[in-house]
Structure 1
Amino acid sequence: MFNTLIMGFVVSLAAGIILGPVVIKKLKAFHARQEEREEGPESHKYKAGTPTMGGILILFSLLVSCVAFNGADTAKWAALFLTLGNGVIGFLDDSIKTVKKRNLGLKAKQKLFGQALVSVVFCLILKYVVELPTTLWVPFTALNIDLGFFYYIFVFFVFVGATNAVNLTDGLDGLAAGSCAITAVAYVVIAVALGYGGMALFSASLAGACLGFLFYNQHPAKMFMGDTGSLALGGALAAIAVLTKTELLLVLAGGLYVIEALSVILQVISFKTRGVRIFKMSPIHHHFELSGWSEVKVVTVFWVFSALTAIFSIIIVLADK
């Protein structure tokens, strides 16, 4: 298994690095260019015009690796379905924003409908193809609660929460790609420890795809992933958590995304109820930028935080075993 995991990682990494220049060239020809928000940090204005929708590179690299190895694992294909489904929603959103020049992209109702549709199909796959139990493991305990039908509703909220949280995290060069690579590596260890070989391979391939993209997304970024990538990565992490039966553990393993999302929620609640902003700007990575940190420093510190939460999640699983 170890050799297969290494190969899965290497193939997706190599695909990303090799195909990166081709994707950048095609995105430029497609006029898929970043439009910086007026309310965004002033230091980001220079990024306008950088090719976006680069999440296509992550998806293709992941697909190549999944097709090349362990083709019979149904859980892996279920995870890939949820990832690609979200990628399609993100692609439509990006296309409307960058090509049709409608700054808001898909309407919230349209995006939620698409996510609900993908989630329903994913849950049907879980029930009838993967035959996944409807139990929920509570970390730090031996409890496995059977939620029955309500488990699938819970899965939908995990899915929507993860996609939106990663989407909010994607605001600085390399932040989302690097942190997702870290979380994916943690899940390689977790999946192996729990006996989910297919999900270990999927996680390794995801980590390689993220790092291959990061080769072109590190500061100063040559391309951005857009919603094509951020929604897909959120879907991938949600799928991994569900298919390894560590749904609640994702809150810790992906602690960075939780904090990014909470910073936005708290900012909105505080401003609407008290007229006071808690942060200089949300998500919280912008707060640190406006506090004087360089973009590279923010990303590095957030990567370290993501690595720490990933390590703690591994320790919890190994201790439970």
Structure 2
Amino acid sequence: MTEIFWRLVPFFIAATLSYVGVMLFRRWAEQRMLDIPNERSSHTRPTPRGGGLLIVLVTFAGLWLAVVLFDLRDLLLEISAFTVGAALIAWISWLDDLRPVANRVRFGAHAIGALLILIFVGFWRVLDVPLLPSFTLGWLGLPITFLWLAGLTNAYNFMDGIDGLAGGQAVVAGLGWFALGLIVDVPLLTLMGALIAGSSLGFLGHNWPPARIFMGDVGSAFLGFTLAAVAVFGAVEDPRLAAAGVLVVWPFVFDTTFTILRRLQRRENIFAAHRSHLYQRLVIAGWSHRSVTLLYLGWAVLSVIIALLWMSAVPGSASAASIVPLLSAALLWRTVVVTERTVGQRNAV
């Protein structure tokens, strides 16, 4: 227990620094970076944005302080590659928060960040999925890992649409990676998990419904890329951590994937702005931001618990890891359908 406490110290420090930093940043942003509501917005009053910058700064500061204090020279190249890629994505996203940046510029930054991870950290060569035998990907792992890195970077951005959702998911996922790092005894995973969870919790203190500040693209893109990169770092040590990395962000992965496939089926432009995500449909149907966020956080906690049980080889956990995520996704979709149908019937009366 003593060792776990000391490994949690970065979490508490990051949470404190992030909370205070966002408080000070909010005063500046209220005069310079207001998010004005439009027809696609889920908020109704001007709110400062860009608070995710503190998540970026606190995470980087904690990571590089650990490199110096704990002499992580054997991982210096990998951590440097991650830092450059994540910093580039955060910088372009910060510019996008200030004024619109062309999609090709944003996607180019995401691609460069993903390539840096592939070159200097590695890629998924073997996949170990619950209830299935391990299979070797070979060079096919390169495009799959690239898609994972770039895809989650964008998915996280898409899912940052209501108060507390992206920050809350990052807290749960970060704590999940902290615990996974303890299970496989990889200190870098516990450190990054603690920093992600702590910095996101400090921000969440200002973003919990009703939000006083928004994360902005600078925070959501950074978190998506970072959580995707941690899964690559982890899978280098244990192939099971690729699937575990998907589970810890499963609500965001499912919602985004399902929404994109449904829009493709309808022959809609998937790059055009929309309000088709399942969480958005619930808000449109009358759910409060707080209720939807709590629903997704409960879903995220369940997914993380399943990942931890599977990684700990608890009997029956492999079946749960295969069935429960799909079952919970089906229940969410059913909830959206029933809610929208009920609202439609009520409006028709």
**Which band: TM-score by shorter chain?**
0.7 to 0.9
**Larger deviation: 1-10 or 161-170?**
1-10
Aligned CA distance change for structure 1 residues 33 and 287 (closer, same or farther; 3 Å): same
Query: Which residue of 311, 314, 317 corresponds with 1:317?
Result: 311
Check conservation: 1:94, 1:228, Cα contact below 8 A: yes
The CA deviation string for residues 181-229 of structure 1, in whole angstroms up to 9 with x for no partner, is 1011111111221121112111111100000000111111111111100
Check conservation: 1:267, 1:282, Cα contact below 8 A: no
Q: Who is 1:265 aligned against?
A: 260
- Matches of 2:166 and 2:47 in 1, distance apart? 17
Q: Who is 2:197 aligned against?
A: 207
Check conservation: 1:4, 1:201, Cα contact below 8 A: no
Check conservation: 2:156, 2:221, Cα contact below 8 A: yes
Q: Which amino acid is the alignment partner of residue 257 of structure 1?
A: F
Aligned CA distance change for structure 1 residues 293 and 9 (closer, same or farther; 3 Å): same
Check conservation: 1:76, 1:202, Cα contact below 8 A: no
Q: Who is 1:223 aligned against?
A: 213
1:163-242 alignment, distance < 5 Å: 163-242=153-232
Check conservation: 2:124, 2:232, Cα contact below 8 A: no
Check conservation: 2:29, 2:50, Cα contact below 8 A: yes
Q: Who is 2:44 aligned against?
A: 45
User: 1:60: how far off?
Assistant: 1.4
Check conservation: 1:12, 1:212, Cα contact below 8 A: yes
Q: Which amino acid is the alignment partner of residue 291 of structure 2?
A: K
1:1-321 alignment, distance < 5 Å: 1-29=3-31, 31-41=32-42, 44-46=43-45, 49-71=46-68, 72-73=71-72, 74=75, 75-96=78-99, 105-126=100-121, 132=122, 135-140=125-130, 143-245=133-235, 246-272=241-267, 281-319=275-313
Report which structure shows greater RCO (CA 8 Å, sep ≥6): 1
Aligned CA distance change for structure 1 residues 90 and 159 (closer, same or farther; 3 Å): same
Partner of 1:106, secondary structure, is coil
For structure 2, the residue ranges without an aligned partner over 5 or more in a row are 236-240, 269-273, 316-349
Check conservation: 1:33, 1:52, Cα contact below 8 A: yes
- Matches of 1:124 and 1:28 in 2, distance apart? 40
Partner of 2:47, secondary structure, is coil
Check conservation: 2:125, 2:139, Cα contact below 8 A: no
- Matches of 1:178 and 1:222 in 2, distance apart? 15
- Matches of 1:216 and 1:291 in 2, distance apart? 26
User: 1:231: how far off?
Assistant: 0.4
- Matches of 1:320 and 1:244 in 2, distance apart? 20
TM-score, structure 1 as length reference: 0.84
User: 1:83: how far off?
Assistant: 3.2
Partner of 2:243, secondary structure, is coil
User: 1:305: how far off?
Assistant: 0.7
Check conservation: 2:178, 2:193, Cα contact below 8 A: yes
- Matches of 1:40 and 1:20 in 2, distance apart? 22
- Matches of 1:121 and 1:281 in 2, distance apart? 32
**Larger deviation: 311-320 or 77-86?**
77-86
Check conservation: 2:40, 2:275, Cα contact below 8 A: no
User: 1:35: how far off?
Assistant: 2.9
User: 1:247: how far off?
Assistant: 2.1
- Matches of 2:307 and 2:79 in 1, distance apart? 21
The CA deviation string for residues 94-134 of structure 1, in whole angstroms up to 9 with x for no partner, is 122xxxxxxxx2222222211122222222221xxxxx575
Check conservation: 1:70, 1:198, Cα contact below 8 A: no
The CA deviation string for residues 141-170 of structure 1, in whole angstroms up to 9 with x for no partner, is 685544444433322111111111111111
Runs (4 or more) in structure 1 with deviation over 6 Å come to: none
State the Cα RMSD in Å.
2.4
Check conservation: 1:62, 1:206, Cα contact below 8 A: yes
Partner of 2:35, secondary structure, is coil
The CA deviation string for residues 14-49 of structure 1, in whole angstroms up to 9 with x for no partner, is 1111212211122234x21113332345xx222xx2
The CA deviation string for residues 256-303 of structure 1, in whole angstroms up to 9 with x for no partner, is 111220342144134338xxxxxx942111111122211111111111
Q: Which amino acid is the alignment partner of residue 89 of structure 1?
A: I
Identity across the alignment (%): 23
Q: Which amino acid is the alignment partner of residue 170 of structure 1?
A: D
